[in-house]
C-alpha cells in the first residue's frame, strides 16, 4: 500500500493553464496555418457574435431563439471558442426540451461572448501594430 502511494505521488498532475477564450491551435488548423486568414475569420466571428447575441436578446419567438443560439454555437465551434459553443448548446437543449431560457444562463453566455470579443479585439490590435 505504501508503495502505491509513492508511485501515485511520483507523477503529479500537471497544472492546467487557463484556456484562452479561442483555441488558437484549432483556428490555425481550420485556416490551414494562414495567419491572415485567421485574422479575417476572427473579424467576421466578432461581427457574427455581436449580431446574433444582439438578436438573441431581442428574440421572443421559438424560431428566432433557436436560429440565434444555433448560429452562435456553430460559429463558436468553428473557430474554437469552446466555452461559448457549450453555453449556447446548453441553452439550445433547454429550448428544444420546452424549458424556458433562464436569464442567468443567457447572462453567462453574454459574459463568455464579451470575453471572446475582448480577446479577439486584442489579437486584432496586436496584428495591426506588427
Quote the CA–CA distance of 34 and 92 in Å, as a whole number: 32
Three cell numbers, residue 86? 457549450
Three cell numbers, residue 46? 466578432
Outline where 11-102 has alpha helix (H): 24-30, 35-58, 62-79, 82-96
Q: How confident is the model at residue 7 (pLDDT cuts 50, 70, 90)?
A: very low
Q: How confident is the model at residue 19 (pLDDT cuts 50, 70, 90)?
A: confident
Instruction: Tell me: pLDDT of 71 over 50.
Output: yes
What's domain 20-129's architecture? Up-down Bundle (1.20)
Question: DSSP code of 16?
Answer: P
10 by Cβ neighbours in 10 Å (0-12 / 13-18 / 19+) ranks as: exposed
Q: How confident is the model at residue 17 (pLDDT cuts 50, 70, 90)?
A: low
| Domain locations along the chain | 20-129
Amino acid at each position: 500500500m505504501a508503495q502505491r502511494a509513492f508511485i501515485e505521488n511520483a507523477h503529479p498532475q500537471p497544472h492546467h493553464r487557463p484556456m484562452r477564450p479561442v483555441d488558437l491551435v484549432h483556428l490555425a488548423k481550420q485556416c490551414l496555418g494562414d495567419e491572415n486568414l485567421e485574422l479575417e475569420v476572427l473579424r467576421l466571428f466578432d461581427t457574427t457574435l455581436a449580431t446574433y447575441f444582439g438578436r438573441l436578446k431581442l428574440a421572443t419567438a421559438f424560431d428566432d431563439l433557436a436560429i440565434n443560439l444555433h448560429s452562435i454555437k456553430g460559429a463558436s465551434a468553428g473557430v474554437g471558442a469552446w466555452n461559448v459553443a457549450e453555453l449556447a448548446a446548453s441553452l439550445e437543449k433547454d429550448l428544444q426540451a420546452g424549458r424556458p431560457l433562464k436569464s442567468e444562463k443567457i447572462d453567462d453566455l453574454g459574459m463568455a461572448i464579451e470575453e471572446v470579443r475582448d480577446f479577439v479585439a486584442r489579437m486584432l490590435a496586436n496584428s495591426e501594430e506588427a
